Amino acid sequence: MKLEDLDSQLEKNHLSGFWRTRVPSHSSEAPYLWKWEALLDGLLKASETIGIEQAERRAIRVVNPHLPTKSTSHTLQVTFSIVNPGEVARAHRHNMAAIRFVVQGKGAYTVVDGEKFYMEEGDLILTPNWTWHDHHNESHDPIIWLDGLDGPLIQSFNILFFEESKVAEQPITHQTGESLSRLGFARAPKKNESHERGVPFRYAWKDTHASLRAMGDHDCDAYDGDSAFQRQGIDPDTPPHQHGDLPRRPRSRPNPRRRRVSRLETGRHFRRADLAVARP
Ligand SMILES: [Fe+2]
């Protein structure tokens, strides 16, 4: 029997000989840059065109043109969300974990697991998987933030779960700032078993910025770029002895690739909320 005939016979029965299969090699992410102007224009037009009640979230996905899936990277999905004054993005939960960076606006808040987290520009807010969350804007201006979710990773395992709340707004069950007082600077040594999924938390930009300003040149890696400062976000539910340090390269051996990325990060190519993916 000819090999071609065997292949044809198998194909008719939706079978495939392994001799026709090649193990796919690793493919790195192709770089791409999304400009803030186009993102903002799309968000503002969406906020005029689509009511918050029409969409679960008024968000625009960042789609990598080099990927067959409409995701930002193989494992991560980035979106930008906008909520107009007076609007509430109703409560839901999913087993995708989310981080939110506030890009523009202040005075709005997100409720995660019964606690309000106020949103100001530069804040980072953690929404662990399967925690209820709804977003409120009681300010006079739109609020815009970046969402980062591990959706493509979850979907690749076909285990994505989503639940819409029966009520638009979840009840407030914790005082505002409670997570910071419980997990921020002093805490009980006993680990809370309910924190296995992670905990909601807000890293306020005013505190992060003050910390960055307080860092001297001696605290920085000379090969991280001209003015790039890195500050490690510490998971509030990770014991201090597991925090670790930022990986640092020997000062005698600069890494050209690292410098190239750093130059991107120092503003020579980036502006405001431009977003880029780059090879690791
Ligand atoms: Fe969500």
Task: Give the confidence band of 271 by pLDDT, cuts at 50, 70, 90.
Answer: low
Compute, in angstroms, the gap from residue 215 CA to the centroid of ligand 1: 35
CB 70 within 8 Å of CB 61:
yes
Given its phi and psi angles, is residue 120 left (phi above 0), alpha (psi -120 to 50 degrees) or beta?
beta
pLDDT reported for residue 138: 95
Task: Give the confidence band of 223 by pLDDT, cuts at 50, 70, 90.
Answer: low
For residue 92, pLDDT over 90 is answered with yes
Compute, in angstroms, the gap from residue 175 CA to the centroid of ligand 1: 22
Compute, in angstroms, the gap from residue 90 CA to the centroid of ligand 1: 9
Compute, in angstroms, the gap from residue 185 CA to the centroid of ligand 1: 28
Count of CB atoms within 10 A of residue 240's CB?
Answer: 7
User: Which residue, 144, 69, 153, 161, is CA-closest to 108?
Assistant: 144
φ, ψ of residue 268 to 5 degrees: the values are -70, -30
More confident residue, 185 or 230: 185
Compute, in angstroms, the gap from residue 92 CA to the centroid of ligand 1: 6
Residue 227 burial (C-beta neighbours within 10 Å; 0-12, 13-18, 19+): exposed
In sequence order, the 6+-apart residues with CB closer than 8 A to the CB of 139 are 85, 105, 106, 107, 108
For the stretch 27-83, pLDDT in tens is 777 889 999 999 999 999 999 999 998 888 999 999 999 888 889 999 999 999 999
Compute, in angstroms, the gap from residue 209 CA to the centroid of ligand 1: 27
Domain 27-184+195-278 classification at class level = mainly beta
Compute, in angstroms, the gap from residue 173 CA to the centroid of ligand 1: 19
More confident residue, 211 or 137: 137
Averaged pLDDT for residues 179-206: 77
Compute, in angstroms, the gap from residue 165 CA to the centroid of ligand 1: 11
Strands 77-83 and 59-61: antiparallel
Compute, in angstroms, the gap from residue 167 CA to the centroid of ligand 1: 15
Least confident of 46-55, 114-123, 149-158, 265-274: 265-274
Task: Report how far apart, in Å, the C-alpha atoms of 228 and of each of 36, 103, 207, 210 are.
Answer: 21, 19, 18, 15
DSSP state of 245: -
Residues belonging to the chain = 280
For the CA atoms of the chain, what is the radius of gyration?
A: 22
- pTM of the predicted model as reported, rounded to 2 decimal places: 0.78
Compute, in angstroms, the gap from residue 264 CA to the centroid of ligand 1: 30
Compute, in angstroms, the gap from residue 186 CA to the centroid of ligand 1: 30
Compute, in angstroms, the gap from residue 256 CA to the centroid of ligand 1: 38
More confident residue, 84 or 195: 84
User: Which residue, 219, 216, 218, 222, is CA-closest to 254?
Assistant: 222
Compute, in angstroms, the gap from residue 259 CA to the centroid of ligand 1: 35
